[in-house]
Chain A
Amino acid sequence: MHIKKGFVLREVCGEQVIMGEGIGALDFGKLLCLNGTATWLWQRASELGEFTIVALAEALCDEYDVALDDALTDVMSIVEQWKNVNVVE
């Protein structure tokens, strides 16, 4: 899995949001706001290029004091949101 080309993290009005850039206009009707954990995961996923849910969960465990099962649940939920808005493939 990887982040689709053209989608970037941007700060809009103090919030971290995913926007499409270089793929046409920025659509303010379809912004995806990210919380702190989701922002951190997006940055890791960007660095990794190709990523898996397990790889992101393990990275989350390395960074924060969190059990692997909890990390997997969180990552699955966040990646599911990304899939729903079509920003990963």
Chain B
Amino acid sequence: MSVAANKDDGVVLAEAIRLVNEGVEVIFPVNGRSMRPFIEGGRDSVLLVKPQDVKPLDVVLACVGENHYVVHRIISVDGERVTLMGDGNLQGREFCECKEIYAKVTHVVSPNGKRHALNTPFIHFVQKMWVKVLPLRKYLLKLYRVYMRLRNFKKEVHDAH
């Protein structure tokens, strides 16, 4: 899930990171499909807070290459080395150090402003299962895409009337 598509976005992201580091909570729009089905890029935003005690299953904003920032889930932490993976990815993993994690995502924010907490026991359970069923992810994501198409089609029909 990309958060800085061009140079200007990078400047804005740097400002958001600076504010988060000051202890300010920041809502930031995200792009891409790599965090499906939990975060829909181009539609949802994420609530970023200063990262403290990051652990596996947390969703974080991290720098995984030169000026390459992602909002992905932590798969494992081995000392200072952190492995990340997008919920909507089938294979790709990213690596960074703990110090390259700049924010933790606590909520997903819908376009209507409604916040969906990621740390409720139910959501935590669902996300844990999602990581565990990695071999089935391909099929589950296909089902999700079909669901999204049907939903969008239904909405278009509804709007047309």
Nearest CB to that of B12 among chain A residues?
Answer: A13
Tell me which of B21-29, B76-84, B121-129, B150-158 binds A: B21-29
Is B26's CB under 8 angstroms from A25's CB? yes
- Per DSSP, are chain B's interface residues mostly helix, strand or loop, or mixed? mixed
CA distance A88 to B16 in the complex (A): 25
B side interface size, CB within 8 A? 14
A26 in the interface (beta carbon within 8 A): yes
Is B29's CB under 8 angstroms from A26's CB? no
Chain B residues contacting A25 (CB-CB under 8 Å) are 24-27, 47
Is B24's CB under 8 angstroms from A26's CB? yes
B19 in the interface (beta carbon within 8 A): yes
A side interface size, CB within 8 A? 8
Chain B residues contacting A1 (CB-CB under 8 Å) are none
Chain A residues contacting B14 (CB-CB under 8 Å) are 13
Is A26's CB under 8 angstroms from B26's CB? yes
